[in-house]
Amino acid sequence: MNHLPEVEFNESAFDEFVTRVREDRWDSWAMFQLALEAHRRQLTEDFDRLTCIEQLPAVIPYPHQLRTAERVLREFRGRAILADEVGLGKTIEAALVLKEYLIRGLVQKALILVPASLVLQWTRELNEKFNIPAFAQRNEWSWSTYNILVASIDTTKRDPHRQAVLSQPWDMVIVDEAHKLKNRKTKNWQLVNQLQKKYCLLLTATPIQNDLRELYNLITLLKPGQLGSFREFCRNFVEDKRTPKNPAGLRKALDAVMIRNKRSEGNVEFTKRYVRQVPLQLSPEERVFYEAVTAFIREEYRRRIDTSQNVLHLITLQREMCSSPYAALNTLERMAKDEVHPAGFRARLLELCELGARIPAYTKVETTIDLVNQIHDKVIVFTEYRASQDFLLYMMKRRGIPAVPFRGGFQRGKKDWMKDIFSKRAQVMVATEAGGEGLNLQFCNQIINFDLPWNPMRVEQRIGRVHRLGQTRDVFIHNLATADTIEQYIVELLQEKIRLFELVIGELDLILGKMRLSADDFERQVIRWIMDAEHPDRLREKMDEFNHAFESAKAEWARERATEGVELPGLI
């Protein structure tokens, strides 16, 4: 006789059921659905499509951005150089990849390293557009408190922050402006190389600038050994530092780690940009004040240069004089009260203050207000100086023009508030240079440059606040230029010689790189020309010399850009 196997009856599940009934401990239907969805997504192993898109109502990615994110996930396994040309939205692509990994549970801890000026912008966009709970790193304990951190790379590379960030593993690391990692001897490169990271994205529009070794250093951060040892890389791919030996082979190796979208491929339609110079004539009182202050500055500059004394405040005063007599007058009054200066020097300053006090009205301010009234649309007015900003706001209020300030000293909440008021109610935003960082104003298409910085990159940043991805209208830029002043020469140099306003955002940096110059180097040159020139003709001569060198560098860059697979930039 066959005996049935012994069956053991386990009542534990029934006991749990009875307990839940008695205590009314049930999860809601919504929680059950969420748990089911989470389980389903955990089982999703392929990356044929992005599952995060349906959760991003505030973002409508361009097709090239979707393709890039999908390739990073599917082909590159989360390690890639995103090398799109400037303005095509590398930030969006990186955020899509991060969001997808977060949804799939493959990333819990992420570190985003960016320039200090972009920390708040990255943090805000990740939260507002992608619903990613990112926090800006502010102090030492931030590293162990938050799972998704946005930090300045310059802060992170210094102790005690460096030790804190290196002591823990990161599921994902994103580095913006990654071309600053091109030299493996720098602390930036060493920091990123030592980070414990599973996935890594390097964002740069210029993965190669002057030397093939820069490319090797970047790729080593992502996939050590991808190009062999450095000696093997040089033997296989390098003719000289700017010429690849085997372009086809090197390009194939690059295709395994880098994605580059170009404007010429028709990925994005950008609106047009129109630039207008608005000429001004100083009033007689303004002319007397300008000539007296400029003569004083040059005299003091030459005297102090000969004795190695500090001349920074003189340079600042000359810049303010180019911005507005009001800004210069404020500084002169402050200097005249400072007893650190000799009595004779202060008496000279007071004489200049008396000349400034005789000015009945400021031509540039009046012209700006007239221009705003003619535009009949939202306008952002940029100025470098707080005094100019304050006076513009004061005069606009008196004329009944709704205007708001925006400057670097504002806390994030106030910046957001000012931007919201400008978007919904005010016609004008008056912004200083520091406040312009991280300011995205695609709903506005009119810019008035009340003054122009002597650093062209800062001018480019101003334009980029308005003329960027997402702008649906043509952009109009109005440059105020006072005749027969230093300002006129600056506007002429930037607008007519360099043709800065016609360049695509980011191109200037590449062209200056051909001249072995940074934007800061350019600014220092301009300062020397202005302060050393005894006659306007000499200043114009210096500008013409620079323009000739700039045009040569621009032509070289254009040739390289058009050469596919032969010269260095052709590789990308």
| CATH code for position 221 | 3.40.50.10810
Residue finishing a domain among 232, 263, 294? 263
> How many structural domains are present in the chain?
3
- Between CA 564 and CA 570, with CA 568 as vertex, the angle to 5 degrees is 15
Residues 325 and 259 in one domain: no
Residues 380 and 474 in one domain: yes
What range does the domain containing 536 cover?
273-278+360-571
Residues 452 and 535 in one domain: yes
**What six digits make up the tokens of 572?**
């990308």
Residues 6+ apart with CB under 8 A from 358: 285, 289
**What six digits make up the tokens of 151?**
């930090």
Residue 487 lies inside a defined structural domain of this protein = yes
Residue finishing a domain among 357, 381, 404? 357
Along the 572 residues of the chain, how does pLDDT read in single tens digits? 556 556 666 666 667 777 777 777 667 777 777 776 666 555 455 667 788 988 888 888 989 999 999 999 999 999 999 988 767 889 999 999 999 999 999 999 999 999 887 888 899 899 989 999 999 998 888 898 999 999 999 999 998 999 999 999 999 999 998 888 888 889 999 999 999 999 999 998 777 655 777 888 888 998 888 888 888 888 888 777 666 777 778 888 888 889 988 877 766 777 899 999 999 999 999 999 999 999 999 888 888 776 656 778 888 899 999 999 999 999 999 989 888 888 888 899 999 999 999 999 999 999 999 999 999 999 999 999 999 999 999 999 999 999 999 997 888 788 889 989 999 999 999 999 765 655 678 899 999 999 988 888 788 878 888 887 778 899 999 999 999 988 888 888 888 888 777 776 667 777 887 788 877 788 888 888 888 887 788 888 888 888 888 889 888 877 766 543 333 444 55
> How far is residue 304 from each of residues 2, 300, 333, measured CA to CA in Å?
113, 6, 21
Residues 91 and 152 in one domain: yes
Residues 6+ apart with CB under 8 A from 180: 153, 186, 188
Would you put residue 109 in left (φ > 0), alpha (ψ -120 to 50) or beta? beta
Give CA–CA dist 205/207, Å, rounded.
6
Residues 392 and 504 in one domain: yes
Give CA–CA dist 222/153, Å, rounded.
17
Classified as helix, coil or strand, 79 is strand
Classified as helix, coil or strand, 521 is helix
Burial of 192 (0-12, 13-18, 19+ CB in 10 A): buried
Q: Which helix (H) or strand (E) holds 390?
A: helix 386-398
Residues 6+ apart with CB under 8 A from 203: 81, 82, 90, 91, 94, 174, 175, 176, 177, 178
- Assess whether the previous peptide bond of 160 is cis (omega < 30° from 0): yes
**What six digits make up the tokens of 53?**
């898109």
Residue 228 lies inside a defined structural domain of this protein = yes
Residues 336 and 377 in one domain: no
Residues 464 and 315 in one domain: no
Residues 89 and 229 in one domain: yes
